[in-house]
Amino acid sequence: MSVKHTMMSLFAALWIGLLGCSSTPSDGADTASGADTASGADTASGTDITQPGADCAAFVGQSTPEAIAASPREDVNAERIALRLGDDLVASDARYERIAADLAAIRTSTDVVDHIDVLGSFGTQAVLIAFDDETFEAVEAGTYTDWSCHNAWYGGTEDSPLWLGSLGVIEFAAIYHPERIVEAYAGLPGAEEVLINEMIGDGNNISLCKESLEGSQRYTFYEGRGDCPAGCTGGAAWGFDVDLDGAVTALDFWEYGDGASVPDMPPPAWSSEPCP
């Protein structure tokens, strides 16, 4: 990667991380501008960039229009976890439904983890496209049309271009697998690099012990503490096993580092045990 592109990547990560590093993604607000697009509406500052009259009848992108329209789901936490488990553009129905049911059962059994959501570090609602100077002039002027069919398929809207690095910003209502959506926009005429909206730092999160949805599942609800923009200097964890019938078993609580009420508390046995 060139020095120019390295600087663009660093700038993009910093810009998006500073604006979008909330650890509560339940409203779907993980876009490059920080705007809430969970409702599926165009962002306030964004514009529909599907060019009138564009012939997109032969264009077929990844996934299906129906699957894309289903995102973001009602439970964004479950959707982000399900998305991590697969390689598809959007989360599968089967994964989403099982995880959503498990999370609902956990939250019904206790309110101690009500404040914890999935960290929005995986699953993106925006890409930044680095263009050559000539193409970026067309992007700024609103005359660049080569992304028209891509945006029609993926629901892309254009936010204000970033002058530093000649970056065009495309936002989506749906939550996409970062690698898949980068592939979708790679190769556009005049595009030199496609970047995802990456987060900086750490924070609250929910993780699943195993990739398979068979049998019982173990969920860890993690609370980040201390200096989380730098990676968190303390934390707490609650574990829960959920069986196929939705029965929840709470596991031992653990905390460490900054904010811990019991210094040097050893990790619980369940944290290193094989997944159920």
In a domain, 239, yes or no: no
Alpha helices (runs of H) in 209-274, residue ranges in sequence order: none
Query: For 237-254, what is each residue's pLDDT tens digit?
Result: 999 999 999 999 999 999
Number of structural domains the chain divides into: 1
In a domain, 182, yes or no: yes
Give me the pLDDT at residue 162, please.
73
Alpha-carbon dihedral angle through residues 253, 257, 263, 267, given to the nearest 10 degrees: 40
Give me the pLDDT at residue 44, please.
33
Q: How far is 33 from 51, CA to CA, in rounded Å?
A: 22
Query: For 118-160, what is each residue's pLDDT tens digit?
Result: 988 788 999 999 999 999 999 988 899 999 999 999 999 988 7
In a domain, 83, yes or no: no
Cβ atoms 122, 178 nearer than 8 A: yes
Based on the number of CB atoms within 10 Å of its own CB, is 182 exposed (0-12), middle (13-18) or buried (19 or more)?
middle
CA proximity to 67, closest of 44, 35, 94 = 94
Domain range for 165: 3-69+121-196
Paired strand residues for 171: 126, 157
Give me the pLDDT at residue 41, please.
34
User: DSSP letter at 51?
Assistant: -
Paired strand residues for 221: 206, 238
Other C-beta atoms closer than 10 Å to the C-beta of 264 total 6
pLDDT tens-digit profile, the chain (276 residues): 443 444 455 445 444 443 333 333 434 334 333 333 333 333 333 444 444 446 898 999 999 999 999 999 999 999 999 999 999 999 999 999 999 999 999 999 999 999 999 988 788 999 999 999 999 999 988 899 999 999 999 999 988 777 667 888 999 999 999 999 999 999 999 999 999 876 778 899 999 999 888 899 999 999 999 988 888 999 999 999 999 999 999 999 999 998 888 888 999 999 999 998
Give me the pLDDT at residue 39, please.
31
Alpha-carbon torsion (29, 31, 36, 37), positive or negative: negative
CA proximity to 91, closest of 100, 101, 81 = 81
Give me the pLDDT at residue 197, please.
76
Residues 6+ away with beta carbon under 8 Å from 10: none
In a domain, 164, yes or no: yes
Give me the pLDDT at residue 230, please.
84
In a domain, 26, yes or no: yes
Give me the pLDDT at residue 31, please.
36
In a domain, 10, yes or no: yes
Q: How far is 78 from 112, CA to CA, in rounded Å?
A: 18
In a domain, 270, yes or no: no
Cis before residue 25, ω within 30 degrees of 0? Answer: no
pTM (predicted TM-score): 0.79
In a domain, 269, yes or no: no
